[in-house]
Structure 1
Amino acid sequence: MKHDAHQVYVVDDDQDFREATCEMLEEEGLRPRGFAGGAALLETLDPEWGGVILCDIRMAKMDGFDVLKAVRAAAPDVPFIMITGHAEMRLAIAAIKAGAYDFLEKPVQPDVLITMLRRTLNARKLVLENKRLRRRIARQGGMVSHLLGRSDVIRNCRKALLDLAPLPITVTIYGETGTGKALAARMLHDYGEGAGGFYAINCATVAADGLQAELDGIPPEVDTIFVRALHKLDNRGQTHLADFLRRNDRPRAILSVTGSLTDPEISLSDELLYLVNVATVEIPPLRARNRDVFILLEAFLRQAAERYGKRLPNVTKEMLDPIGKHDWPGNVRELRNVAERMIIGLGLNLQAQSRGGTGPHTSYDEAMMAFERALLEQALRDADGRKGVAAETLAIPRKRLYLRMKAVGLLKSGQD
């Protein structure tokens, strides 16, 4: 949502008075905007606007009290000052009781009006700053529940996201595969100041010439565009994205990179690198988060148990020891998969593997065994652990499923 830069809305159906008042306010350094009636004002009014409304009482269609009532319903905290040429105390009292911030009578002394407006604007600024502070405190608690962990690196990460969330600047999120970059992007949007939509584009799946069409097709209500896997863009795509990022009328941009912008294998044009290297946040790998792994494991076990309708397993010390020693090349995504396997009874299956893949010393038989095990695990997860359903999905007899599970280490025997 783009906030209006005007400071004073002047509502009066007397064109001469309205224009003269706006001219005088401009000369005093204020930024006014005139409206001939309440209906036009209400079409523009934003509840989070930081200005003040100056409204006449005597108007042909909606009088000042009607406008005040509508404003209080649409934007209850925006200050509203009544002004009239009929100096009647009962009107002043009625206006204050109806929720007006203050009351003035025509002809208005310029110094009195300017003093009142500046005082009201300062009060409005303090109200908005207090609201933002309260939201920030509340959001910090909410962010802890989404980006779990107590390690210093994850605390610093949450702080960086909170600091950047309300700022309308481009942010690039980087880190290893599976660390939670998409979650961080969503949190930057959810905890920001905008109230519009979140629109994601995955550069890894966009066709060679498809990025421009994706950018042109962003809906008008979108506040944040998330460009995922920036490092997958070809040269033409990088040119289209750079052109988009230079626009002033675009939504806020959040981008993600697997690795970091300085990795030699990531090739971005100088122009695009300049545009996306404004603010960066690293999502730390799981191996750098100390005992956060156990906090995350408990949360993922509870989520998986609820999703599959299963009981929580009895987690023993013998199970926790290898979990604590594992280096988690798949990061949080790998840990989530482990939790799902534990819930549906498939065991830990923590295989030592490098972050670069299976490694040069993996034999053909080992690679095939790992592939078959992963295939069986996925089928069992999709079947919520029901082996008969998994066998049907794989189009093999149930007995063969048991035998293959035993062969790859998913069963200690050929039985349930």
Structure 2
Amino acid sequence: MLVDDEAMVREATQQWLTICGFHVVSLSSAEQALKHLDDAWPGVLLTDVRMPGMDGLELMREVQTRIPDLPVILLTAHGDVDMAISAMHEGAYDFIEKPYVPDRLAETLQRACDKRRLTLENRRLHQDLASRSGLASKLIGISPAISRVRDEILLLGQLNTNVIIYGETGTGKELVAQCLHEFSPRSNKPFVPINCGAIPESLIESELFGHEAGAFTGANKRRIGKFEYASGGTLFLDEIESMPVNLQVKLLRALQEGVIERLGSNQSIPVDLRVVAAAKVDLRDEEQFREDLFYRLCVSELHLAALRDRLDDVPLLFAHYVARAATDHQREPRPLSDHDISALQSYAWPGNVRELKNVAIRFALDHRTSAAELLSRGQAPQITPRINQRGLPLAVQVAEFEAQAIRLCLKKHQGNIKLVMDELDLPRRTLNQKMQRFGINRSEFVTDEMP
């Protein structure tokens, strides 16, 4: 929104910004602007300072009262610079001195628009989380990949078929299995998980089928196995690719016949259950996995995308786990900054949702550390370049990269400006200007150990 009482200046500015790709609402007075602005305004306010009636400063203050997070940029004459700097302390996003450099105006507006977009996106995240119910509150996300999984769960949940879930470590295979159970006719019966890769080979048969007293050394009393306990409900076999070959035969028989025998017993016990298996690799390619067992299990398949392939879900998931951690530890939920969201959506997430959850908990409990700093701890940060995945102009992508490079260098040198200047090959004035432009505060990176 452009507000200027001089018609020629207003028209020329509007034409230039339109050429730069902005949609411009052009108005001649502050009073008109206030009638148009509301909390959902998707852009920013660019206003001249000296206008008849309500001037630009009064307009800025009124907007800050009504819409505190709306970026306001002031157009000032040369003699108003001191006043504009004072307005920056009051919360103005930036000021542009007349006669302005067109490219600088467009670049400043683009950064302000990007900030506004991220603010509204952050707000939408919290509203989305608060409004979710049912399956959407358990499998959180807005990406096509997670939407497809939710649709498949609602379909498969009503079918009494075995299912194999494929996905990398940490993608939430057990949570998806639980959802399959909860949205099925078996939901009032047990959901019984067992990790085939975490139980010693000598004990896994007893875990699955149970044993009688005296069946082997240490078997002092009868024990009900997972198959028998899950009867009527769902048995979840995680990391099924780790199941020993000799046990695969017994598992196949139990699934085919619908009966099991406890170790040390000859009595057949009927069981009625649904088996949901999970694997990190395609079982068709596993030479040690029996083909007949595969076809018995693989009536249906679900494939879970890695988190790096659904980065649009990351802010929503992160906000969810931050809010949960804050509730668990009786703390106020910590809001995500624009820089936090950008860092989260630029990270590769090798540990998938499990890693994201751990980072979110640390973020919720440590109010001194940003998300970007948490992601860069330990080994080098695993940042993946997002080549215009959000449709941002090149100038904005370059600005994001510059800001990230400066922050990482300041962190590396604990806020030592001289070392940062040397490493980035920047003069002091240029570095200061960029830090001011990106809102980077050196004091955040200074530690007690710095000489």
TM norm structure 2: 0.46
